[in-house]
Structure 1
Amino acid sequence: MIKPSLAFAAIALGATPATPLSAQEAQNDARAYLDRIAAIDDAGPELNAVIAVNRNAPDEARVAEAAGLPLAGRTVLVKDNIETRELPTTAGSLALAGNNTGRDAPLIANLRAAGGVVLGKANLSEWANIRSNNSTSGWSAVGGLTRNPHATDRNSCGSSAGSGAAVAAHLAWAAIGTETDGSITCPASINGVVGFKPTVGLISRTHVVPISHSQDTAGPMARSVADAALLLNAIAGSDPADPATAEADAHVTDFTTGLADASLKGVRIGVLVNQIGDREDVRAIFETALDDLRRAGADLVEIAFEPNDEMGRDEFATLLYELRTDMNAYLATLPGKDMPRSLADLIAFNRANAAEEMRWFDQGLFEMAVERTDEQAYRAARENALRLAADRGIDRLLEENQVALLVVPTRGPAWTSDLVNGDNFDGSIGAGSLAAIAGYPHLTVPMGSVERLPVGISFMGPKWSDHLVLKAGAAYESARTATIPEPSLQPWSPGD
Structure 2
Amino acid sequence: MTRISEKRDGLSARRRAKKCPPTTYKKASFMSFWTGFGACYSYFHRLTMTRFTTILAASTAVWLALFGQGTCSPAKNAKIPSLIDATIDDLQKGLKSGLFTSVDLVTAYQARIAQVNPVLHAVNEVNPDALAIAAELDALRAKGKALGPLHGIPILIKDNIATADKMNNTAGSYALVGAKVPRDSTMAAKLREAGAIILGKANLSQWANYRSSNSSSGWSAYGGQVTGAYYPNEDPGGSSSGSGVGTSIGLALGALGTETSGSIISPAQKGNLVGIKPTVGLTSRYLVIPISSHQDTTGPMTRTVKDAAIILQAIAGVDKYDNYTSLIPNTGAIPNYVAALKKDALKGARIGIPYNALNPNASTVEMAAFWDAVKTMQKAGAVIVDSNFTVASPNNTNIVLGADFVSDLAAYLAELTYNPNNVHTLADVLNFTQTDPREAYPDRDTARWDAALALGYNNTDGRFWADYQKNLYEGGEGGLLGAIKRNSLDAVILPTSQAAGRAAIQGAPIITVPLGFYPVTWNVTTNARGLAQQAPNIPFGLSLLGDLFSEEKLIGLAYAFEQRTLVREKGPKPYLAPNVDLADFVDTK
2:157 paired with 1:78 = yes
1:459, 1:168 → 2: CA distance? Answer: 20
Q: Which runs of 4+ in 1 moved over 6 A?
A: none
| CA apart distance, 1:135 | 1.7
Once the two structures are TM-superposed, the CA of residue 233 in structure 1 deviates from its matched residue by 1.0
Maintained 8 Å contact 1:76/1:174: yes
Give the Cα–Cα distance (whole angstroms) in 2 for the partners of residues 202 and 372 of structure 1.
Answer: 30
CA shift in 2, pair 1:25/1:262, >3 Å: farther
For residue 101 of structure 1, the aligned residue among 181, 190, 203 is 181
Counterpart of 1:110, as a letter, is: K
- What CA distance in whole angstroms lies between the structure 1 residues aligned with 2:89 and 2:327? 27
Match for residue 37 of structure 1? 113
Larger Rg: 2
**Greater shift in the superposed pair: 388-397 or 402-411:** 388-397
Q: Is the 8 A contact 1:447 1:484 kept in 2?
A: no
Structure 2 residue 273 is matched with structure 1 residue 273: no
Superposed displacement of residue 402, structure 1? 2.8
Q: In 2, are the aligned partners of 1:262 and 1:474 still within 8 Å (CA)?
A: no
- 2-side partners of 1:17 and 1:246: how far apart? 32
Aligned to 2:462: 376
Paired residues of 1:210 and 1:326 also in contact (CA < 8 A)? yes
Tell me, in whole angstroms, the C-alpha distance in 1 between the residues paired with 2:286 and 2:436.
Answer: 29
> What TM-score does the superposition give when structure 2 sets the normalisation length?
0.76
For structure 2, the 5+ residue unaligned runs are 1-60, 74-80, 520-536, 578-589
- Once residues 302 and 239 of structure 1 are traced to their aligned partners in structure 2, the CA distance between those partners, rounded to angstroms, is 38
Is residue 51–residue 122 contact of structure 1 (8 Å, CA) maintained in 2?
yes
AA paired with 1:51? N
1:311 match: secondary structure: coil
Match of 1:90 in 2: 170
Shift of 1:272: 2.6
What is the identity, as a one-letter code, of the residue corresponding to 1:406? V
Question: Aligned residue for 1:415?
Answer: none
Offset from partner CA, 1:245-277 (integer Å, 9 cap, x none): 113362412211131544211111012334443
Distance 1:337 1:476 in 2: 47
Question: Would the alpha carbon gap of residues 275 and 394 (structure 1) be closer, same or farther in structure 2, given more than 3 Å must change?
Answer: closer
Judged with a 3 Å threshold, the aligned counterparts in structure 2 of structure 1 residues 337 and 183 are, in CA distance, closer, same or farther, namely closer
Please give the secondary structure, in 2, of the residue aligned with 1:317.
helix
Show the 5 A alignment for 1:95-244. Answer: 95-101=175-181, 103-244=183-324
- Structure 1, unmatched stretches of 5+, are 412-429, 491-496
Look up the SS of the partner of 1:202 in the other structure. Answer: coil
> Paired residue for 1:419?
none
Q: Paired residue for 2:553, among 435, 460, 468?
A: 468
Contact 2:274 2:303 in 1 (8 A): yes
- Normalization by structure 1: what TM-score? 0.89
Aligned length: 467
1:217 and 1:40 map into 2 onto residues whose CA distance is: 29
Task: Give yes or no for the alignment of 1:448 onto 2:534.
Answer: no
1:52 is the counterpart of 2:140: no
Moved more, 96-105 or 198-207: 96-105
Superposed displacement of residue 16, structure 1: 4.3
The alignment's C-alpha RMSD in Å is: 2.1
1:408–1:457: 8 Å Cα contact kept in structure 2? yes
Residues 137-169 of structure 1: per-residue CA shift (max 9 Å, x gap)? 100000000010111311001100000111001
Identify if the C-alpha distance between structure 1 residues 82 and 59 changes in structure 2 by more than 3 Å, giving closer, same or farther. Answer: same
Percent of matched pairs sharing the same residue: 35
Give the Cα–Cα distance (whole angstroms) in 1 for the partners of residues 473 and 423 of structure 2: 35
Q: Which moved more, 1:362-371 or 1:93-102?
A: 93-102
Tell me, in whole angstroms, the C-alpha distance in 1 between the residues paired with 2:388 and 2:572. Answer: 32
Report deviation, 1:489. Answer: 1.4
CA contact (8 A) 1:63 1:73 kept: no
Larger mean Cα displacement after TM superposition, 375-384 or 174-183 = 375-384
The residue aligned with 1:421 is: none
Distance 1:154 1:432, change over 3 A: same
